């Protein structure tokens, strides 16, 4: 039976359906689209002060340069409506920068001019000839100064459920009474998005309609934003984005390249391409904000948590408030009666941060899980045992049960694979064959299982094939593949007879491709649309058990269904989160203090796994990102002028292959009947959560030294050694 064979497609390690296209160079990325004749190129001129006014801007030399079509500045750029628009991924507080609309500079790297020329080289040269002088104004440049004036996230964040203060009971009193207490401060630097593909846009106007080929995780939001900026009905804007060369959250908001390309294209009446340089990626796109966390834990002598107090502050810009839920996990991850959380944002003259893989959780869980390790040491207790002792089946922040929770199973599975039982509990007691200090560390991971409304269309063709579409994105997790699997299974068609399409505002509306909710949200819609299309096809011939391909041939014309699905109240009745446990082995040179990570092992309870192959790839990729956070990555922001200093891939160090040892990721069997029709909880982000903490905890185990500021560099291990 065809349907039986196809039904086993979900859960199979199917290779990426778009893989051959990508490796053969056949996938067309945003900046590679050919918009037709007349394409010209835009190069952005950026500010070199953190705050102030443009005193003068001289474009004469640039305008006279060869090939130049136009030079746009705030003096000659079209005045744009810039209607209010705040998508789900835009900060609800504050207002975005209106590009080239006035003389105000609010951060280093802000676009102040765009040179448009026949070739990229001519545009870049012309941009270098634009002379700008500034009247600097007072600015908050140092994070420490910003922290002194930190504020709660604000009322609109409260409306979204993000409070500045949270918790339950009386944490201070419980801490005071706890027989065992630890308190420590953890510092996490700014981390910049560095996907392989920089942000880029090709814009073309035709009879008042704007078409944008853009790198984005959310074509519909780019359309909404451009409609608002240019004062257009949304149906006059089309956004196309079939392939994304990595995004990790950087594609959640349209950056200056989109608006400037559209603005310039209308101005010169030709298609215009604008691609950010790598340096501009550090000044124009968002980033994971710098943060400082203070955690106090109290426990009884058996390791039962009695109190958690967790305070955090992270940087934001002066013109928008970017806040993320950094402390929520401290309220639900473990059983604890008395909990207090306090989160503040610190406005600084920088561009607004934005979500980076595992936003909030990556930061907050790092601090909490490092603190748990410190508590385990204070208790002289095994760090895994401490976590298990505080396991809970009820989310104590809301009082409702978890829809599923396999934290214990994750620790067991990963611990066994890792060989945790071989760990000598005494710090500094283990060495490898090269004489390096060996440390084992662990940490919990968690990420909320969320779901959004989504719409998909299934179109069944007379040749027995199907085309399923929705305006989603595939920034790398394998959306093309997993949706094809769900569609094939639901339709009862072989995988190779189903094609999934995404990345076009002309398609049914998908939610933003982020939050680890694409499978839960869009997968449910794809399943529903395919089921409905199949039902219609079979109904036409009045046989519910027939072979669909044969039925379609018999009908002789396409059968189509578009279905919108949305979550019910299940996420009010249950607290739904993915959980995981990650173990790290480090090897530390006792003299040179270099830290290497030979192994990372993680186990995750994520509900149903649609594709173990791409799922594992998601987790191991997330682990590498966590490794970068732990050991090498940080954006150095000069405290004197708030300019990112290491704004290049030579100076901002992402891990290279030589840094990455053995990566092992497994999924524990978990059936979640509550969370959504597919039973999936999401796994795009959880792989990064907890990794840095596991590594820091392993460094402590190897050396007996706590490094509480990331990244764990040579001098931080050395400094602890010298002291």
124 binds another protein (CB under 8 A): yes
Site string for another protein, 315-334 (x = CB under 8 A): --------------------
Task: Please state, in angstroms and rounded to a whole number, the distance separating the CA atoms of residues 565 and 466.
Answer: 20
Of the candidates 426, 544, 658, 723, which one interacts with another protein according to CB under 8 A? 658
Residues 6+ apart with CB under 8 A from 48: 108, 132, 134, 643
Of the candidates 208, 640, 671, 723, which one interacts with another protein according to CB under 8 A? 640
Sheet containing strand 180-188, edge to edge, reads 165-168, 338-348, 305-317, 291-299, 180-188
Task: Please state, in angstroms and rounded to a whole number, the distance separating the CA atoms of residues 28 and 20.
Answer: 13
Catalytic residue among 93, 455, 532, 685: 685
Site string for another protein, 588-617 (x = CB under 8 A): ---xxxx-x---------------------
125 binds another protein (CB under 8 A): yes
435 binds another protein (CB under 8 A): yes
Question: By CB under 8 A, which span of 10-18, 140-148, 655-663, 694-702 interacts with another protein?
Answer: 655-663
Task: Please state, in angstroms and rounded to a whole number, the distance separating the CA atoms of residues 701 and 443.
Answer: 13
In the complex, minimum distance from the CB of residue 277 to another protein, in angstroms, rounded to a whole number:
8
Task: Please state, in angstroms and rounded to a whole number, the distance separating the CA atoms of residues 709 and 417.
Answer: 29
Cβ burial of 148 (10 Å; 0-12, 13-18, 19+) is exposed
Of the candidates 659, 704, 706, 720, which one interacts with another protein according to CB under 8 A? 659
Q: Please identify, using beta-carbon distances, which residue of 97 and 376 lies nearer to another protein.
A: 97
Of the candidates 180, 653, 666, 720, which one interacts with another protein according to CB under 8 A? 653
Of the candidates 3, 28, 101, 128, which one interacts with another protein according to CB under 8 A? 128
Query: Two tokens at 327?
Result: 């402390």
Q: Please identify, using beta-carbon distances, which residue of 445 and 595 lies nearer to another protein.
A: 595
The CA-atom distances, in angstroms, between 584 and each of 385, 596, 667, 690 are 16, 10, 17, 10
416 is catalytic: no
433 binds another protein (CB under 8 A): no
Query: Two tokens at 348?
Result: 């600084």
Of the candidates 656, 662, 669, 673, which one interacts with another protein according to CB under 8 A? 656
Cβ burial of 142 (10 Å; 0-12, 13-18, 19+) is middle
Task: Please state, in angstroms and rounded to a whole number, the distance separating the CA atoms of residues 201 and 240.
Answer: 10
- Angle 714-722/691-703 helices, nearest 10 degrees? 30
463 binds another protein (CB under 8 A): no
647 binds another protein (CB under 8 A): yes
The CB density around residue 68, as the number of other CB atoms within 10 Å, is 22
Backbone angles phi, psi at 619, to 5 degrees: -70, -45
714 binds another protein (CB under 8 A): yes
510-539 residues in contact with another protein (CB under 8 A) are: none
Sheet containing strand 104-105, edge to edge, reads 104-105, 52-58, 131-136
Q: Please identify, using beta-carbon distances, which residue of 50 and 552 lies nearer to another protein.
A: 50
Q: Is 13 strand, coil or helix?
A: coil
Q: Please identify, using beta-carbon distances, which residue of 447 and 652 lies nearer to another protein.
A: 652
Is residue 468 within 8 Å of 456, Cβ to Cβ? Answer: yes
60 binds another protein (CB under 8 A): no
Of the candidates 655, 682, 684, 690, which one interacts with another protein according to CB under 8 A? 655
Q: Which residues bind another protein (CB under 8 A)?
A: 46, 48, 66, 108-109, 121, 124-125, 128, 279, 435, 591-594, 596, 631-632, 636, 638, 640, 643, 645-648, 650-651, 653, 655-659, 713-715, 718-719, 722
Catalytic residue set: 685
């Amino acid at each position: 039976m065809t349907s039986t064979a196809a039904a086993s497609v979900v859960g199979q390690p199917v290779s990426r359906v778009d893989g051959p296209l990508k490796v053969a160079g056949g996938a067309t990325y945003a900046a590679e689209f050919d918009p037709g004749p007349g394409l010209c190129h835009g190069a952005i001129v950026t500010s070199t002060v953190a705050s102030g006014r443009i005193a003068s801007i001289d474009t004469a030399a640039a305008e006279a340069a060869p090939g130049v079509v136009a030079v746009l500045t705030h003096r000659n750029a079209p005045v744009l409506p810039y209607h209010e628009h705040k998508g789900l991924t835009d900060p609800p507080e504050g207002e975005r920068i209106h590009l080239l609309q006035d003389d105000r500079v609010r951060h280093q790297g802000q676009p102040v001019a765009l040179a448009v020329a026949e070739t990229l080289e001519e545009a870049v040269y012309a941009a270098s000839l634009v002379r700008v002088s500034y009247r600097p104004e007072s600015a908050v440049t140092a994070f420490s100064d910003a922290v002194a004036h930190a504020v709660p996230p604000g009322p609109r964040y409260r409306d979204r459920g993000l409070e500045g203060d949270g918790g339950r009971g009386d944490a201070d009193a419980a801490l005071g009474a706890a027989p065992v207490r630890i308190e420590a401060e953890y510092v996490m630097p700014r981390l910049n998005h560095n996907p392989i593909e920089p942000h880029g846009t090709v814009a073309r106007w035709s009879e008042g309609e704007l078409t944008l080929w853009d790198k984005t995780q959310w074509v519909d939001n780019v359309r909404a934003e451009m409609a608002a900026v240019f004062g257009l009905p949304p149906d006059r804007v089309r956004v196309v984005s079939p392939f994304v060369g990595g995004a990790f959250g950087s594609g959640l908001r349209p950056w200056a390249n989109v608006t400037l390309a559209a603005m310039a294209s209308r101005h010169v009446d030709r298609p215009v391409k604008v691609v950010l340089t790598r340096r501009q990626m550090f000044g124009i796109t968002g980033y994971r904000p710098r943060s400082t966390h203070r955690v106090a834990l109290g426990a009884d002598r058996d390791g039962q948590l009695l109190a958690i107090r967790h305070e955090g502050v992270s940087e934001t810009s002066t013109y928008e408030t970017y806040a993320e839920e950094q402390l929520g996990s401290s309220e639900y991850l473990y059983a604890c009666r008395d909990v207090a959380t306090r989160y503040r944002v610190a406005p600084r003259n920088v561009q607004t941060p934005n979500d980076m893989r595992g936003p909030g959780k990556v930061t907050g869980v790092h601090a909490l899980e490092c603190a748990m390790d410190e508590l385990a040491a204070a208790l002289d207790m095994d760090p895994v045992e401490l976590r298990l002792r505080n396991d809970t089946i009820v989310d104590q922040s809301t009082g409702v049960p978890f829809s599923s929770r396999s934290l214990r199973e994750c620790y067991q599975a990963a611990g066994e694979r890792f060989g945790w039982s071989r760990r000598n509990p005494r710090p500094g007691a283990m060495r490898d064959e090269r004489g390096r200090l060996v440390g084992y560390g662990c940490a919990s991971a968690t990420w909320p299982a969320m779901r959004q409304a989504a719409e998909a269309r299934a179109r069944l063709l007379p040749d027995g094939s199907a085309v399923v579409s929705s305006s989603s994105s595939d920034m790398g997790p394998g959306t093309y593949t997993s949706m094809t699997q769900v569609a094939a299974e639901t339709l009862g068609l072989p995988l190779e007879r189903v094609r999934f399409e995404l990345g076009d505002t002309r398609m049914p509306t998908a939610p933003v491709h982020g939050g680890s909710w694409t499978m839960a949200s869009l997968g449910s819609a794809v399943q529903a649309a395919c089921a409905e299309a199949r039902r219609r096809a079979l109904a036409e011939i009045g046989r519910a058990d027939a072979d669909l391909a044969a039925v379609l041939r018999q009908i002789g014309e396409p059968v189509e269904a578009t279905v919108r699905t949305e979550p019910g109240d299940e996420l009010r009745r249950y607290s739904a989160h993915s959980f995981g446990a990650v173990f790290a082995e480090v090897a530390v040179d006792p003299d040179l203090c270099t830290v290497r990570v030979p192994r990372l092992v993680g186990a995750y309870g994520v509900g149903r796994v649609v594709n173990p192959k791409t799922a594992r790839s998601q987790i191991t990729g997330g682990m590498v990102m966590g490794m970068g956070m732990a050991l090498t990555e940080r954006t150095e922001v000069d405290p004197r002028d708030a300019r990112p200093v290491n704004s290049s891939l030579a100076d901002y160090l992402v891990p290279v292959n030589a840094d990455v040892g053995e990566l092992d990721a497994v999924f524990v069997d978990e059936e979640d009947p509550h969370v959504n029709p597919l039973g999936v909880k999401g796994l795009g982000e959880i792989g990064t959560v907890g990794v840095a903490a596991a590594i820091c905890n392993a460094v402590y185990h190897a050396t007996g030294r706590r490094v509480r500021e990331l990244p764990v560099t040579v001098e931080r291990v050395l400094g602890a050694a010298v002291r």
